[in-house]
Amino acid sequence: MIRPDYILSYWIIAWYIAYMMGILTHNPKWALELEVVGNIGILIALIYSKVPMKKVLLVFLSVLLFKVIPLWTIWHTKIKPTDIHATIGVFLMFIGWLLWEKELDVLYQMLTKIVYLQNELPEIYLLNQVFR
């Protein structure tokens, strides 16, 4: 299974939680919007590739729970330039972390695991266990 710290989505969810708790002041809305757009692309690719509908629904449920619902809870907030800078900063820290850990190839591995729907991404594994 891919470690959660090698998955950008978890960094953004942690940022969202810290923002909601008032620990961080930079708004993760733009990061969540980018993630939703990217995940819609992944869902379209899965449907186009004729992946079994159960697998597509698991990915859709994951996107809904971990991206759409958090985005919906902060939809009313405004994105400031500092929030965009923070998003870029989080992304650069994430890439830096992967370089530090010598795990930059994990980005390709994740894409492969999504396309072939291997249950090695934590949320897909969990949802697959729940909806057997």
Mean pLDDT of the 103-108 span? 75
Return the DSSP state at 4.
Answer: G
Q: Are 98 and 106 in contact (CB under 8 A)?
A: yes
Confidence of residue 41 (pLDDT cuts 50, 70, 90): confident
Alpha helices in the chain (DSSP H): 8-20, 29-48, 53-63, 69-73, 81-100, 106-115, 122-130
Residue 89 has pLDDT above 90, yes or no: yes
Residue 79 has pLDDT above 80, yes or no: yes
CB under 8 Å to 5, separation ≥6 — which residues? 11, 97
Question: Would you state the pLDDT for residue 6?
Answer: 80
Question: Would you state the pLDDT for residue 48?
Answer: 86
Residue 117 has pLDDT above 70, yes or no: no
